[in-house]
Amino acid sequence: MRLLAHAKINLALAVGSLRPDGYHEVETVLQKLELHDRLELRPAGELTLYTDSAEVPQGPGNLAWKAAALLRERYRCRAGAEMRLHKSIPVAAGLGGGSADAAAALAGLNDLWDLNLDLETLVGLAAELGSDVPFFLVGPTALARGRGEILAPLPPAPEMGVVLVTPAFGVRAARAYARFDRLPAGARSDLSPLLRALADKDRYAVAGGLFNGLEAAVFDLYPEVGKLKEVLGGEAGVLGALMSGSGPTVFGLTADVERAGAAAAGLRARGLLARATRTLTAALNDR
């Protein structure tokens, strides 16, 4: 069995107050991308996980493994699986790669092990693994509230090209939020313009409605991320640029994937790690 675990970007991220459980209240618009990892599952007597990336663990420290272990424990499942994870999504980059892998593991093992769990149950399990994981079971576009686990489907974004620029370092989300708490409160963010743009399928208005309440905190910690956003925003064909999630990846939206490819090529010529992809306009569950 083969599943594609698609990356995400945050078209908007409004950060609220710190909750008693240590998380922040958030309101965020999440969008899946064509860029994906690939998870292959085969029946086996034991549970094993192999990955082609030296940046992610191959055993219990991997979120896909934790998803499998959660299913086995919760439903007293004695079956095993050989899991092979082929990574293409940059690690610790604000693109949700680990969460996407975990969601793919939940969905795939539910089928492989004949657990017959419905989507609502899988989403509940996903929320135990991480705030972003539930989104990857739905989509391609959704509004997330709470700590990110309360989801409402949105009209899919129009197809747009996406340029991703990832620095050669990661950002720990906990550190970004901790710095956010020490900065003066900014103006309250309004998602209404972006939600209207999505409903109208207006890619130019979508690009104009981008915002991320964590940018000031991450730019304070890592000024080079802010500079990358400026560089990307100045590229020909880029309609709007933003940092995704807690960073450090910044993305730019273009009218089509051809313009994204041209912008990415120009940035690579300047020594930056850039790639082109596109928004997903339909929920895909590739097997």
Per-block mean pLDDT, blocks of 10 residues, the chain (287 long):
97 90 89 98 95 91 97 94 96 93 98 97 96 93 91 94 94 90 78 95 96 95 97 97 96 98 97 97 60
CATH topology of domain 2-153: Ribosomal Protein S5; domain 2 (3.30.230)
> What is the pLDDT, as a whole number, of residue 188?
67
CA distance 110 to 116: 6
Spell 257-285 as b/e; 16+ CB within 10 A means b: bebbbbbbeebeeeebebbbbbbbbeeee
Active site residues: 8, 132
Report the pLDDT value the prediction gives residue 170, as an integer from 0 to 100. 86
Predicted confidence (pLDDT) per residue in 48-101, tens digit:
999 999 889 988 999 999 999 999 999 999 999 999 999 999 998 999 999 999
Class of domain 161-278: alpha beta
Q: Which residues in the chain are classed under CATH 3.30.70.890?
A: 161-278
Q: What is the pLDDT of residues 189-218, one digit of tens each?
A: 789 999 999 999 999 999 999 999 999 999
Which residues, including other chains, have CB under 8 Å from residue 258's CB and lie 6 or more apart? 161
User: Which pTM was predicted?
Assistant: 0.93
Structure confidence at residue 287 (pLDDT): 44
- Quote the tokens at residue 106: 């939940």
Measure the CA–CA gap between 165 and 168, rounded to whole angstroms.
10
- Residue ranges matching CATH 3.30.230.10 in the chain: 2-153
